[in-house]
Amino acid sequence: MSVAEQWNFAGPGVLCEPRGDEPRKPGKLSAMSSNKPKMPVRIREMREEDLDAVLAIEVEAFPVPWSAANFWSELGFPGISHLLVAEPEDKPGAVAGYACYSLIVDEAHITNFAIRNEHRRRGVGEQLLLSLIKRARSQGACSATLEVRVSNEAATRLYSKFGFAAAATRKRYYPDNKEDALVMWVLFGSEDRDSPESG
């Protein structure tokens, strides 16, 4: 079963707990800096020929990586599953990072997001996430959600820049070490609507 088929904010058997005294309301999409990134990239749709590079980053980034079959399954659900890659402007065809999201009615669920180690802290993640949000918004999304390990402070900081707020905790969510996941949400306003970048 694909991630798109399993998509559910509070899926069966997954416990979501509020974050103590923190507000449970989703955050509001934040305005981003217009500073030129250290590594400009072109965001485009993932293609079959990208999979080897994507799988290498997946193994590098995650203790429980997606398999090739997982990516193929997602590619088989156009209109629901959307897969993007960040291609360095000075290296056409290379993959610096990628993102996957599922669009269900008016909610975008970010299911996978990774940047190659050597390209981190160079603005690639911000460019990729901003493009994802613009695309999802132009497709009718009113909000976005994701799960992130409680220990992944770098990712949490990135998402917070875009207005994502921690709304709940999924206990023992990750199978490798039973680590909890933060559930983060952001709401989009009408002023956030934009057309997706070309590609």
Give the separation between CA 63 and CA 85, rounded to whole angstroms: 21
Summarised one tens digit per residue, pLDDT across range 35-84 is 678 899 999 999 999 999 999 999 999 999 999 999 999 998 888 999 99
Look at residue 199 and tell me if it is in a domain: no
Nearest to 66 by CA among 46, 41, 88: 46
Answer yes or no: 74 catalytic. no
Summarised one tens digit per residue, pLDDT across range 20-36 is 434 345 566 654 545 67
For every residue of 3-68, DSSP letters joined together read HHHH--TT-TT--EEE-TTS--SPEEPPPPP-PPPSS-EEEEE--GGGHHHHHHHHHHH-SSPPPH
Summarised one tens digit per residue, pLDDT across range 75-129 is 988 889 999 999 999 999 999 999 999 999 999 999 999 999 999 999 999 999 9
Look at residue 62 and tell me if it is in a domain: yes
Look at residue 4 and tell me if it is in a domain: no
Count of structural domains, the chain: 1
CATH of the domain at 38: 3.40.630.30
Look at residue 2 and tell me if it is in a domain: no
Answer yes or no: 118 catalytic. no
- Catalytic one among 58, 74, 98, 159? 159
DSSP 33: P
**This prediction's pTM:** 0.81
Give the separation between CA 174 and CA 181, rounded to whole angstroms: 7
- Catalytic one among 58, 87, 107, 147? 147
Q: What is the pLDDT of residue 26?
A: 58
Q: How many CB atoms lie under 10 A from the CB of residue 39?
A: 17
Look at residue 105 and tell me if it is in a domain: yes
Look at residue 73 and tell me if it is in a domain: yes
Look at residue 180 and tell me if it is in a domain: yes
Look at residue 58 and tell me if it is in a domain: yes
Q: Which domain holds residue 162?
A: 16-192
